[in-house]
Structures are given as C-alpha cells and as structure tokens.
Amino acid sequence: MNYYSLNKQSPSVSFSEATILGQAPDKGLYFPEIIPQVDKDLIENIEHISNEEIAYRVIKPYIGNEIPDEELFRIVSETVNFEIPLVPINESISSLELFHGPTLAFKDVGARFMSRCLSDFIKNGISTSLNTSVQHPSTSLRVVVLVATSGDTGGAVANGFYNVDGVEVVILYPSGKVSSVQEKQLTTLGKNIHALEVNGTFDDCQQLVKQAFADEALNKELFLTSANSINVARWLPQQFYYFFAYKQWKERGASPIICVPSGNFGNICAGILAHISGLPVQHFIAACNTNDTVPQFMLTQSYQPKSAVATISNAMDVGNPSNFIRILELFHHQFPQLKEKLSAYSITDDETKTTMKRVYDEYGYILDPHGAVGYLALEKYLQTHPSSKGMILETAHPVKFYDVVEPVLNQTIEFPPSVQQIINLQKQSTIINTNYQQLTEFLMEL
Ligand SMILES: *Cc1c(COP(=O)(O)O)cnc(C)c1O
C-alpha cells in the first residue's frame, strides 16, 4: 500500500516511510491510495473470530509485505491484549470501554501499535525503510519522537515507547491543563521519556511541534518523527475496536449509531474508515465540547479554526482538528455525503457535569467527562431518531479525571493498580515558555 500526501506536493511513500516521517515533507497528512474492503466473511462471522485475527485481517492490506506476517501478528496481538467490552448503560445506549489498557485510555491502542512498528523499522535500519525518493539526510541519527499532548497522548506514547532502544521521546504538554493522573503518567517514567511543561495551551504545544518539523537546520541534526494521531501507524489501528464493538453488538437487524468524543478527530476518522471498508454503521456522531469548529462547519460548511478553549474534557480542547481533512478526503470533499453519515454536537461543561450526575443517579454508570460529552450528544441525536440504538466510545477511565468527576458525583473513585503505582511518584518535567528557541535548545541537548 502506498500513501499520498493530502497536500499533493510530495511523492507517495510506503507504510514504513509514512510511519517514520509522520508527516509528508510538504506538511500534508498521509492517506492510503486505496481503501481496502474487508472480506464479507469477517463481518458475517465476526462473533467467531478472535480479536487478534480481526485486527490482523483489518490492518494487513495497509502494511502489505513491509512487516513479515508472523511479526505483524505478534504486533497486533500485543496491541489488543486487553479487554474492550461493550457495556449497556440503558435500553438504547451502550458504552464501548476503551480504557482497560495500560494508561487507561483508547490512545494505548494506537501508541502500542505505532511504537512496535517503529521499533521494527529502526532495528532493520531506518535507511533501508526509507525510499530514495524522499530526501531525508539524517538517516543515521538517533530517532526523536516529538509529541504535543492535550492529555492522554503523552501517557500512552510514553508507555508505548518506554525503554525502546534507539528512541528518545519528547512530550510537550500545556502546564496546568492536564489532570494530575495524566501528568503523573507522562512525567514519572524517566529513561528515554522526557516531559516538557509548556506555559501555554495545547494549540501552542502543537504549534511548537509543527515548527520543529518544518525546521530544516534542526532536521539535519536529529531524526524527528511524530507520534500524534496524524501518524498513519497510530491512526489506522484505531479501526480495530470498531470491529470489536460490532462483534458484541446484539441488534443484528440494525447497525449502530456510533458517537465518538472528538478532539483532533483521529479516532472518529478511523471509525469512518472502517465503515467505508465494509463495517456496518448507521451513522457517526462527533461529540465536541465548547471547542466547536466541526459542529460549526457542519452547520455552515465554512471551516473556521479557532483558538482552543480550556474545558473539563481537556483531551478534546482542540480548535483546529488536524484529522478533519482526512474525513473530508474519505467523502471526496462532498458535503451532502458527509452530512448523511456524520452529525456533530457541541456540549458545554455544565451540560457535561449534569450528564455525569444524571447517568450515575439513574443507571449507576460512571462516565468520565469525555464520555459524558459523548453520551449527551448521542442522546440528543436519538431524540430525533427514537427507533435507533447506539453506543458511545468511552475514551478514558473516569479515574483519570477524578478531580472533576468526584465532586460532581459526590463519590470517590478507586484508583486501579496502575494509577496507585505512580500517583505518589515525583514528577520530572522541564518548564518552557511558548518560545521555539527553548524547545530547540532542549532537543539539541538530548
Ligand atoms: C485524545 C482523546 C480524545 C480525542 O480523540 P481524537 O482522536 O483526538 O479526536 C477524546 N477523549 C479522550 C479521553 C482522549 O484522550
């Protein structure tokens, strides 16, 4: 499979090149040249197929022969080796719990897959993975994975890459705007994991990262790559759990409405990709907090990026979602087709809190703030489609946001063992301003 740049100014590349480069030299996102179709058998007999096998069959066409079959099977098996249950909340809404992985968030799936692929390519020598058509001078240098996080990416990437030979990981996060559990997850590992605490917003962090990738002088010194959701090796494996959800979906006559709490729109974009590849889904809902760039676009057809606003569902505080362009590409930039498959809602913090409280009181189910945004968006949609049923993707464990959830529910949430281990460790971070010079100095001293 080859991948082209959505800016169309750079040559197409293989899967390994797209993984190593992250972003195309023309700053475009990579996109598969063909959308493969899954076997009918996979859908019809899905209840009898193991998760490893489903994941393998879904991802194989995207990798081709770039990773040997056995190795690829091992990678997907390690990627999905935790449970992903579909739990009913009430008659019409279920929750696909994506938070049973090592850092209690759905990003574990993409980060685990990507780190294992990249580690494989590094072992085989990066220069052999890079096609000569892409000019990249620094193939003999150490690989630095550079990531901006609004909360959950940092922990998942840190965990996925921890102790991986030959890779340094640098994580930029907005100071004071991630939860204390999230902060501990990305600042307490040490070794090859470095946390930069930025006095600014997530968009500032993302801007600094973009600037580093565009900096030719810096890229002669370091081999920079990204592990953000723009990387195809993080984006594509997120399709897996949409198939696992369908495997557990009991209403065989009617396919589900799937509601995805969305920030950078990588997760929902993977779901739409799975659907276009043959997975039955009736409709997708993008649930946003007050950062409503996409809900506004769906109303006006005019895309107006904004500055991010801080909310209690902070992993979705994104004013210019980078993956939305891939969704437009999936629909060939045809708005009517997009509108038929996708609705978007914007939910306020007050509504999010009331929803967490109401769902807990009525059904005894504890939602995290992101899941609560999803729940209310789905409920709003179902009010106008009363015969449909659906699911939310519960993207994080409520304990990651205990500072928000506990006072709302008036209830303490127990830390799972993975959190208990880190909560009392000392954070190790380097504080920087939104000053590019400070970032490059740090990188050069690694
Ligand atoms: C990252 C994240 C999101 C947003 O996912 P995108 O793929 O960026 O849209 C939603 N919820 C949680 C908990 C997250 O960590």
Measured in Å, residue 176 CA sits from the centre of ligand 1 at 18
Residue 407 has, within 13 A of its CA and on its CB side, a CA count of 5
Q: What is the DSSP string of 288-304?
A: E-S--HHHHHHHHS---
Per-residue pLDDT at 123 exceeds 50: yes
Nearest CA, atom 1, ligand 1? 315
E strand or H helix at 156: helix 152-161
Averaged pLDDT of the chain: 92
- CA-to-CA distance for 147 and 239, rounded, in angstroms? 22
Torsion on CA atoms 238, 242, 244, 245, rounded to nearest 10: 140
pLDDT confidence of 133, banded at 50, 70, 90?
Answer: very low
Per-residue pLDDT at 138 exceeds 60: no
pLDDT given for residue 443 in this prediction: 95
Q: Which residue has the tokens 């249950």?
A: 85
Residues with C-beta less than 6 Å from any ligand 1 atom:
105, 107, 151-152, 229, 261-267, 315-316, 370, 395-396
pLDDT given for residue 126 in this prediction: 67
Q: Which residues is 173 bridged to in the sheet?
A: 197
Measured in Å, residue 301 CA sits from the centre of ligand 1 at 23
- CA-to-CA distance for 206 and 228, rounded, in angstroms? 10
Per-residue pLDDT at 416 exceeds 60: yes
Measured in Å, residue 263 CA sits from the centre of ligand 1 at 5
Atom of ligand 1 at shortest range from CA of 368: 13
pLDDT given for residue 367 in this prediction: 98
Per-residue pLDDT at 268 exceeds 80: yes
- CA-to-CA distance for 259 and 276, rounded, in angstroms? 16
What integer is the mean pLDDT of 23-27?
Answer: 89
Atom of ligand 1 at shortest range from CA of 262: 9
Measured in Å, residue 135 CA sits from the centre of ligand 1 at 33
Domains, the chain, ranges and CATH? 83-104+235-413 (3.40.50.1100)
Per-residue pLDDT at 73 exceeds 70: yes
Nearest CA, atom 14, ligand 1? 315
Give Cβ neighbours of residue 444 (< 8 Å, ≥ 6 apart): 218, 221, 222
Measured in Å, residue 103 CA sits from the centre of ligand 1 at 13
